């Protein structure tokens, strides 16, 4: 396993839709392992493949950040089928270090995905897990959580990021 460098906004990889996986082969299994290690090391509660510069439509999620067994989810080619309700909560993103944003999203999500054996499954989640899955699916579409902000809030956050970049203060958490 290896820790992969996480790309920061506005890296073009974050703004490009990912491509559905056609074959679950060693290269994909290696990517998923490395993404899990990278997510836990950050630490984060989710990671999308384009955050490590890859184009596969794959994400990993563990809202305990590895603190509890059996909470890790791997979603290959996830597709959201249905959402329900609405909720506002604070989100962070490993590609936006030090930035937190209040994001309104559906409270519950139902999705379909493949597991590492290539078996299709449906999954339903709400609250933080549902939020994190939606955050990752948004990454996989080449979007970021800035999308969910109104124009004014978005330009304020973008200005803060531009200043941080100019000050040399826009760096990923060290892979210690
Ligand atoms: O670590 C993360 N925390 C988080 C908090 C609230 C909602 C979503 C997230 S995902 C984020 C990791 C990340 O950037 N995933 O893409
Ligand atoms: Ni993110």
Q: Is 139 in the pocket of ligand 1 (CB under 6 A)?
A: yes
Residue 16 falls inside a structural domain: yes
Concatenated DSSP letters of the chain: --PPPPP-TT-GGGGS--B------HHHHHHHHHHHHHHHHTT-SEEEGGGGT--BSEEEE-TTTTSSTT--EEEEEEEEEEEE--EEEEEE-TTSTT-EEEEEE-SEEEEEEE-TTS-EEEEEEEHHHHHHHHHHHHHHTT--GGGGS-HHHHHHHHHHHHHHHHTT---PPP--
Band of residue 103 on the pLDDT scale cut at 50, 70, 90: very high
Residue 121 lies in a domain: yes
The residue segments making up the domain with residue 94 are: 12-166
* Residue 106 is assigned to a structural domain of this protein: yes
What pLDDT does residue 174 have? 63
Residue 39 counted as domain residue: yes
Distance 135 CA to ligand 1 centre (A): 7
pLDDT tens digit string along 105-133? 999 999 999 999 999 999 999 999 999 99
Q: How far is the CA of 21 from the centre of ligand 1 (A)?
A: 23
CATH number for the domain including 131?
3.90.45.10
Asked if the structure places residue 2 within a domain, the reply is: no
Catalytic (active-site) positions: 136
Instruction: Examine residue 132 and state whether it is found in any structural domain, yes or no.
Output: yes
pLDDT band (50, 70, 90) for residue 72: very high
CB of 48 shorter than 6 A to ligand 1 = yes
Q: Is residue 109 part of a domain?
A: yes
What is the model's pLDDT at position 88? 97
For residue 174, tell me if it sits in a domain: no
**Ligand 1 geometric centre to CA of 74 (Å):** 15
């Amino acid at each position: 396993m290896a820790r992969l460098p996480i790309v920061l906004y506005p890296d073009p990889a974050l703004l490009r839709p990912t491509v559905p996986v056609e074959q679950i082969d060693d290269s994909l299994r290696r990517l998923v392992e490395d993404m899990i290690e990278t997510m836990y090391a950050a630490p984060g509660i989710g990671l999308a493949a384009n955050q490590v510069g890859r184009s596969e439509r794959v994400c990993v999620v563990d809202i305990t950040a590895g603190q509890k067994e059996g909470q890790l989810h791997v979603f290959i080619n996830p597709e959201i089928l249905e959402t329900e309700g609405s909720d506002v909560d604070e989100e962070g993103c490993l590609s936006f270090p030090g930035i937190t944003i209040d994001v309104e999203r559906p409270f519950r999500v139902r999705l379909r995905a493949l597991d590492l054996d290539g078996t299709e499954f449906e999954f339903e989640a709400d609250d933080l897990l549902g939020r994190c899955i939606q955050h990752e699916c948004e990454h996989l579409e080449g979007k970021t959580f800035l999308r969910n902000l109104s124009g004014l809030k978005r330009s304020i956050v973008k200005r803060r990021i531009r200043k941080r970049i100019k000050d040399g203060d826009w760096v990923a958490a060290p892979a210690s």
